[in-house]
Amino acid sequence: MLAIMAADSRYGFYEFFCGGGMARLGLGRHWRCDFANDIHPAKIAAYSENFGSDVLRPGDVGEVAPGELPGCADLAWASFPCQDLSLAGPRGGLKAARSGVFYGFWRLIEALQSEGRAPRLIGLENVPGLLTCSGGADFTALCEALDAGGYRFGAVEIDARWFTPQSRPRLFVLALRKDIPIPADLALGAEPDHFSPFHTGAISRAAARLPDRLKASWVWWALPVPPRPNESLIHVLEPARAAPWHSPEETRRLIAMMSAPSRARLAQARKEAEPSAGALYRRMRVENGVKVQRAEVRFDGLAGCLRTPGGGSSRQFVVWVQGGKVRTRPMTAREYARLMGLPEDYRLPERNSAALHLAGDGVSVDAVAFLRESLFEPVLEHARIAALAAE
C-alpha cells in the first residue's frame, strides 16, 4: 500500500465518489481520510489495494447513513459523476441519473448540519459544463443548496496543464462554512477586472446569473498563479521498446483519418530535426451534413483531456515522429496515470480497460494538492489561530 500518511495527520476529510483515491493523494500526508465511498467495483478494488479498506464504504451514496460519517470533518470532497453535465454527453443535468447522485451526497451534508457537525469546507469537482447545463439552472441550484446549508462559495476553473502535460480544465466549487472567517488575502473584494487563469468568462457569467440573495454568499477566491511545469508529453512516455506499436498499415489508417489542420501539424513535425511526440484522439465531426470520424493530433507538448474508454473520443494515441518517419500506438495506462499525477508506485488495476477508466475518470492529483496548499490549509490554520485568540 502507498505510504502517504504520517503520524501528524492534522486534518480529517470525507472522500465521496472516491474513485482510485486521487483526491486523497492530493491532500497528502497531513490529511486523514475518515470515510471514503464509491460504487464502481474496479475503483473500489484499486482504492483498497492502495490505501486499505478500513474507511472504505462500498455502495450507492444514497444508501449511506449519516451515522457512518465519523466526527466533524475539515473537508468533504466530492468528484461527482460528470456524464450528464459534459459537453460531450447528452447534458441531462443534475436531474439525470448519474450526475444527479450529487443530491445523495448533499443529503448527508444536510444531516450533518442538523447534528451540528457540518464539514468546515466543501470541495466539488466536475466539468466546466456544469456552469451552463440546463441554461445555468443546475449551477444555480447547486449554489442554492450550498447557501441553504450554511456555506459561502465560489468557483474556479483549474487546468491540469499547470502541473502535468495534459489539457484538462475542470471546475472546482469551493465552499466554506459561514461561521468560519476567510483570510483577507484569500478572497478578492470584487470580480477580477483583469486576466485570471482561474476566473473564466463562463464563471463570471454564471455568477452574474445568480439571484442577489445567492450573490451575497459568493466568494471570488484568490489563488496564486503556479509556475508552468517544465515537463512535456515526451517526458512521461514509456521507453520505445516498452509498449507495442501499431503496424505500418494501422498508422497509415490513422493518418488517413486526420483533418487538414492535423495533417499540416504532422507535416511540420516531420521536418523537425529533433524527435517529436504528439497526442492523437479520434472524434466524430459533421462534414457536408455527414458524420465522419476524424483523427486530431497535437504537437504542443500536451496530451488532450483523458477520458474513460467508453466514449467515441476516448482513447488517446502516441504519435512519434523522428527523421521524417511516423509511428503510432495507444497510450498506456501508466502514461495515463502519470498525466493524472499518480505516483509510480500506485497500483493500477490489472485489466487495461479498468486502469484507463480509473485514470480518465479521476481528478488531477496535482490540482487537489494546489487547492490544499493555496486554500484549504491556509483557511483552516487562520480559523485555528482566530479561535485561540478568542479564548
**How far is residue 15's CA from residue 43's CA, in Å, rounded to a whole number?**
13
**How far is residue 186's CA from residue 223's CA, in Å, rounded to a whole number?**
7
**How far is residue 281's CA from residue 220's CA, in Å, rounded to a whole number?**
35
pLDDT at 80: 85
> Could you tell me the domains of the chain?
11-225+364-390 (3.40.50.150), 239-331 (no CATH)
**How far is residue 264's CA from residue 276's CA, in Å, rounded to a whole number?**
14
Place of cell 470541495: 123
**How far is residue 240's CA from residue 151's CA, in Å, rounded to a whole number?**
51
pLDDT band at 286 (very low <50, low <70, confident <90, very high): confident
pLDDT at 218: 98
Strand, coil or helix: 174 = strand
Q: Does the pLDDT at position 83 exceed 60?
A: no
pLDDT 10s digits, 18-46:
999 999 999 999 999 999 999 999 999 99
**CA 355 distance to own-chain centroid:** 16
pLDDT at 387: 83
pTM for this entry: 0.92
Place of cell 462534414: 287
pLDDT band at 310 (very low <50, low <70, confident <90, very high): low
pLDDT 10s digits, 159-210:
999 999 999 999 999 999 999 999 999 999 888 877 788 999 999 999 999 9
- Mean pLDDT over all residues of the chain? 91
Task: Calculate helix-pair angle for 352-360, 41-51, nearest 10 degrees.
Answer: 80
